[in-house]
Structure 1
């Protein structure tokens, strides 16, 4: 026969309800182990996302500079600064100065390396030949690369080294 909890005396019902301390400790230990296994994977995912985001930001800045040089019929310069994490588009103004057209921000944990410090897009649909490599502070992440050809074609690839 199966006795239900309602047929037990009041004192027995009160002592058998709830979880024991050992059950709670085992549950918390299992959750801690699961969290410990998942944490490195999450940090790698975040670093991958940072590199993708910085790559997309740089590619958008380069495409905008290419289009602006065609529209304005002037040379557009793209430069980056890893200390302030900015990408700047500039145009030659009167008096030899350069006016800023647009500024892009990228993540502080990402760095951009290239074969030069600035690239110019010309109105005749040409550009300086340059390779940009986007790296992250997490060195286990695969860097990305953006290549700009002499005829202004912007391409990206994965799996390069910093």
Structure 2
């Protein structure tokens, strides 16, 4: 006995042939609602990750400047430049250069964009604040003490 679609009655063949247009439209509408709810959360997570990444890059560059100053036994200048809409640049004088997202901005408490590490492990204390173009993201702070201790913490206010 062969069981094929051609042997079934005409009415049964018509009703079991797939999804209706209404079923497809309802499914697409439900998916659109789910994506609409999830999209803002995802963009906030990406912005938080940008701020953490920029803070980590800044912290590592500061630690490198401190170490190189001690190793070379000379003053070493650390600078940063937000570069407007281009990628930001962090420079450790004649040693290395780092880049960070153009959506992140770094500001410092002294507004001078530069700091000099001394081989005696001394530096002017300063606080860097990292913000993102997405204003709903929490900012981070990198604090450099007078004895060149570098700490990364949550906080700070963005302009």
**TM-score computed with the length of structure 2 as normaliser:** 0.89
In structure 1, how many angstroms separate the alpha carbons of the residues matched to 2:129 and 2:156? 8
1:39-63 Cα shifts (integer Å, max 9, x gaps): 0000000000000000000000000
5+ unaligned residues in a row in structure 2: which ranges?
Answer: none
In structure 1, how many angstroms separate the alpha carbons of the residues matched to 2:40 and 2:20? 32
TM-superposed deviation, 1:12: 2.2
In structure 1, how many angstroms separate the alpha carbons of the residues matched to 2:19 and 2:152? 56
Tell me which of 115, 119, 124 is aligned to 1:123. 119
TM-superposed deviation, 1:145: 0.4
Report the counterpart of residue 67 of structure 2 in structure 1: 67
TM-superposed deviation, 1:128: 1.7
In structure 2, how many angstroms separate the alpha carbons of the residues matched to 1:158 and 1:68? 27
1:97-128 Cα shifts (integer Å, max 9, x gaps): xxx21000000100000023101110001112
SS in structure 2 at match of 1:47: helix
The size of the alignment, in residue pairs, is 149
In the alignment, is residue 154 of structure 1 matched against residue 153 of structure 2? no
Report the counterpart of residue 14 of structure 2 in structure 1: 15
5+ unaligned residues in a row in structure 1: which ranges?
Answer: 91-99
Report the counterpart of residue 45 of structure 2 in structure 1: 45
1:26-81 Cα shifts (integer Å, max 9, x gaps): 00000000000000000000000000000000000000000001110011111000
In structure 2, how many angstroms separate the alpha carbons of the residues matched to 1:22 and 1:110? 45
Report the counterpart of residue 139 of structure 2 in structure 1: 143
SS in structure 2 at match of 1:52: helix
117-126 or 12-21, which deviates more: 12-21
TM-superposed deviation, 1:159: 2.4
Question: What is the RMSD computed on CA atoms of the aligned residues?
Answer: 1.6
In structure 2, how many angstroms separate the alpha carbons of the residues matched to 1:112 and 1:80? 8
In the alignment, is residue 113 of structure 1 matched against residue 107 of structure 2? yes
In structure 2, how many angstroms separate the alpha carbons of the residues matched to 1:47 and 1:133? 15
